[in-house]
Amino acid sequence: MRAWLTHLDVERGVAANTLTAYRRDLARWTAYLDEVGVSDPREVGEHHVSGFLARLREGDTDHRPLAASSAARTLVAVRGLHRFLALEGEVSADPTASVSPPRPPARLPKAITVDQVERLLAAASVGETSATLRDRALLEVLYGTGARISEAVGMDLDDVAADEGIVRLRGKGGKERIVPLGSYAARALAAYLVRARPALAAAGTGTPAVFLNQRGGRLSRQSAWKVLRSAADRAGIDGHLSPHTLRHSFATHLLDGGADVRVVQELLGHASVTTTQIYTLVTVQRLREVYAQSHPRAR
């Protein structure tokens, strides 16, 4: 243990606080090994590592149960020590190699209600300036297509077919997908392209970007975030609201409306339906709430 911690300190330059945490985690690990009668690292097996993780999650008389994230962090220290021992030839195999860290519970995505979305969009379209027309179009596109903020600000004019009600989005890894635009988003985007974008473009040197800033260049992700935040403030929507919130709301409202999860997967551009299925947990939670409020024998 001392040799590994010294290696981390001297050769890897690991922060002092990290070393302190590792030292504390390893002290608990060696205490567990002592308790189960293991005093030689060559005697440590995979079942010892799994048993230790179970102990971390359950707690004992001297320690409270650890959350999955904290137990996983402790496993990092244990795994690092035994990998070091294997590399140094002190043991023939690393007993931690096949032990997976506990997975934290999936976080339910944050979505806002349909009423809040409508208030947000209305707050973004006060006035008829180039900026307000752009802001309304941007937020309508984000909610109407479920686009990531990077996909929305990355759109070029050739990606838009507002008259056909479709846009092309470029997602992670350069993957492209065609998504429907929806009548509200199509109208807002057409109004912006005809009545506002030419004035914004006149201030720049020419760019194919759909959404432009006041200098005629492509709107940045940071500026798009400010557009959303300003509209949320005017709409009186409290709490943390990010462009991704509209993407979460898009998916949640589709599933609430009866859309198939596979369709939502394609619209969001998820490589695996497993990623999309987190939204089904949100809708099930909503069903429970409605049931609890509505059924005479639910409470």
Q: Is 134 a catalytic residue?
A: no
Catalytic residue among 7, 187, 234, 244: 244
Catalytic residue among 32, 143, 192, 279: 279
16, burial (CB in 10 Å: exposed 0-12, middle 13-18, buried 19+): exposed
Q: Is 244 a catalytic residue?
A: yes
* Single-letter amino acid, residue 292: A
Catalytic residue among 172, 195, 226, 288: 172
> What are the phi and psi torsion angles at 152 (to 5°)?
-70, -50
For residue 295, what are its two tokens? Answer: 């059924």
134 near 192, Cβ under 8 Å? yes
Cα end-to-end span (Å), the chain: 55
234 near 123, Cβ under 8 Å? yes
Catalytic residue among 28, 48, 134, 148: 148
Residue 104 is classified by DSSP as P
User: Which SS3 state, helix, strand or coil, does residue 72 take?
Assistant: helix
Q: Is 175 a catalytic residue?
A: no
Burial pattern 50-88, b for ≥16 Cβ within 10 A else e, equals eebbebbeeeeeeeeebeeeebbbbbebbbbbbebbbee
Catalytic residue among 48, 119, 247, 253: 247
Catalytic residue among 48, 197, 248, 270: 270
> What are the phi and psi torsion angles at 218 (to 5°)?
-65, 135
Alpha-carbon distance of 275 to 271, in angstroms, equals 8
For the beta carbon of residue 122, count every other beta carbon within 10 angstroms. Answer: 13
Alpha-carbon distance of 126 to 135, in angstroms, equals 10
| Nearest 10 degrees: Cα torsion 112, 118, 124, 129 | 160
Q: Is 63 a catalytic residue?
A: no
Q: Is 192 a catalytic residue?
A: no
Q: Is 79 a catalytic residue?
A: no
Active site residue ranges: 148, 172, 244, 247, 270, 279
